[in-house]
Amino acid sequence: MDAPWLKWITDHETELVGKLAEAVAIPSISGDAKFRPEVHRMMKWVADELESLSASVEMRPLGEHTMNGAKLELPPIVLATVGTDPRKKTILLYAHADVQPASSKDSGWSGEDPFELRHDKATGRLYGRGSTDDKGPLVGWLNVLKAHAETKTELPVNLKFCIEGMEESGSEGLDELVEKEAKKYFAGTDAVCISDNYWLNTTKPALTYGLRGIAYFFLHINGPGSDLHSGLFGAMASEPMVDVVALMSKLVDSSGKILVPGLLDQVAKLTPEERKRYEDLDFSANDIYDAIGSKTTLSDDKVTLLMARMRNPSLSLHGIEGAFAEPGSKTVIPCKVTGKFSIRLVPDMQPEKVVSLVRDHLETEFAKLNSKNTMSVECGHAAKAWVADPTDANFTAAAKAIKTVWGVDPQLTREGGSIPVTLTFADNVAPTMLLPMGRSDDGAHSAPEKLDISNYIKGTQVLGLYLHEAAKLL
């Protein structure tokens, strides 16, 4: 820990917090059309920062798309290269610069501007939208470049950057770009590092070697030609809400068991070695109680909970579009409703097979209703699960960096969420690893979102040390 660039990071904490504040100040909300100019401004900020650090930068346009009926220009992908020395290994770094919506009116922000980074020195926390997801890690990589440049320390590897502005809205256009550029821009990449996830708890750093996939469904029920008055037409017309509620109750039960026949048959068998990994993790049911704010877990057993999150599929019901959901009462019979649900996929589940099984199951159950309404099932998007070898050189390099900075070995974890581009990189570019900066209680996507300053500063040091270890091990 005596390298000049490592000391520079520690000594310039105030400057590095200021740089993160610059990034957080841009409300780059990709899921809201009125903020699209801000996403473009954010991508330009990233490109300018990388250019100022001697990177060769290209802003790759992705064309247009339609959001809520409006035609919008997709934010460009920032592709940047630092170093082309054929004697060095090449690491690809991925991050995203867009964020979830946020407003000072949201209760968690307590009237504070979520796009003004607030340093609570009493708790050592940095509050602001995007602070942990994913601007903290993104700016961390910029800090690594700055630290090496300021101390005249040569980077031990060549770097390629792939920074997008649509991750929170489906990463539209990114998969196609990666596949197209696999043998062009991304050619020669030896390893991929993504820092867009979190520790399993608040006390021990982690490395992530698996993500669940996802299949998101829309269950459409169409009935009368228009909404109806329940007093005039109740018990006369076939009601779509009745059908959609009946069908969604046939998908999952109150114990979390998936009711779609054949779906669980695809799940990879649990080996004793894999089970031991869950047994050895520093985790308890209390970690989940704290995260969800109650003791309403489906189990109190540590291993059962971890497997439910990391290696077993889940089916969640998300909502019913078209139903009355405002405060007060309204005696309407909706003419058309859409039930929304998703399945988190695990090895060895194939999205195409999952979609087929779900559709067959719902068609069978709908036939039993003898309804005069019509039903259709649509899969909005799907992605396979990803699992890597946590003992390979890429993970070993990151583990050594974590041990040096934090003084402990990282926990090896699998995430319950999905980052579909991870699999795209792994399949088309090079072995891929997730190296989290933030903690489990950071509140990404919620209010208030935060990043502990220790995670920001030490996490930046971990990112840099990972590059030096990778140069020796890859």
Catalytic (active-site) positions = 98, 167
3-state secondary structure of 248: helix
Compute the distance between CA of residue 126 and CA of residue 131 in angstroms, rounded to an integer.
Answer: 7
* Percentages of the chain per state (helix, strand, coil), in multiples of 5: 35, 25, 40
Compute the distance between CA of residue 229 and CA of residue 231 in angstroms, rounded to an integer.
Answer: 6
Residue with structure tokens 């996507």? 445
* C-beta separation of 219 from 244 below 8 A: yes
Compute the distance between CA of residue 186 and CA of residue 421 in angstroms, rounded to an integer.
Answer: 14
Compute the distance between CA of residue 117 and CA of residue 131 in angstroms, rounded to an integer.
Answer: 8
* Mode of pairing for the β-strands spanning 432-434 and 191-194: parallel
Backbone angles phi, psi at 316, to 5 degrees: -120, 140
* C-beta separation of 187 from 197 below 8 A: no
Compute the distance between CA of residue 415 and CA of residue 280 in angstroms, rounded to an integer.
Answer: 16
DSSP secondary-structure letter at 201?
S
Compute the distance between CA of residue 132 and CA of residue 195 in angstroms, rounded to an integer.
Answer: 10
Closest CA to 45 of 30, 59, 35, 65: 59
Question: Across the strands, what pairs with 216?
Answer: 342, 381
The radius of gyration of the chain from alpha carbons, rounded to an integer in Å, stands at 24
For CA atoms 46, 51, 56, 58, the dihedral sign is positive
**Which residues neighbour 293 within 8 Å (Cβ) at sequence distance 6 or greater?**
none
Compute the distance between CA of residue 464 and CA of residue 123 in angstroms, rounded to an integer.
Answer: 26
Question: Across the strands, what pairs with 413?
Answer: 208
